[in-house]
């Protein structure tokens, strides 16, 4: 079984969305973890937009990348430029991937406009994860 780590700045939105979709698309073929360079807690809007798409991430926790230093990952996926630039060295042969997604937590406007940005980013991440699993797992 492959081990996948998704890294983001705060393990709050983008990496949480990706963890949910990678678990969904990979099924029992992979163990999926997400972490941040920092921990900001799981964003309630991320939980809400995933629930709209039938995926429950309400049990996810916000974890610091250092918590997983002992694991030997097959893949490390960074989902923001900040995490990519600050990605710690893993003493493994993990294959690294990077895709910079916009941070929906930085969206401004009405609640509806902010939620629409969360949905837009969710859909970008969903497409990426589905394609990534198809090509790598």
Query: Please, which residues have CB within 8 angstroms of residue 109's CB and are 6 or more apart in sequence?
Result: none
Options 38, 53, 87, 120, the catalytic residue: 87
Distance between CA atoms of residues 133 and 9, nearest Å: 22
Options 5, 8, 32, 83, the catalytic residue: 8
75: enclosing H helix or E strand: strand 75-78
Catalytic residue at 13? no
Question: Which own/partner pairs from 91-99 qualify as long-range (CB within 8 Å, at least 24 positions apart)?
Answer: 94/5, 97/132, 99/128
Options 17, 49, 77, 80, the catalytic residue: 80
Catalytic residue at 87? yes
Active site residues per annotation: 8, 80, 87
């Amino acid at each position: 079984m492959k081990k996948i780590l998704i890294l983001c700045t705060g393990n709050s939105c983008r990496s949480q969305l990706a963890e949910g979709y990678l678990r969904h698309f990979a099924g029992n073929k992979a163990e999926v973890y997400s972490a941040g360079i920092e921990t900001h807690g799981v964003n309630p809007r991320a939980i809400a937009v995933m629930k709209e798409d039938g995926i429950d991430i309400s049990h996810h926790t916000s974890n610091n990348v250092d918590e997983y230093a002992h694991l030997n990952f097959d893949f490390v996926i960074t989902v923001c430029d900040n995490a990519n630039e600050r990605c710690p060295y893993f003493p493994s042969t993990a294959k690294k991937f990077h895709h910079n997604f916009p941070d929906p937590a930085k969206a401004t406007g009405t609640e509806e406009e902010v939620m629409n940005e969360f949905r837009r980013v969710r859909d970008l991440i969903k497409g990426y994860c589905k394609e990534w699993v198809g090509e790598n797992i």
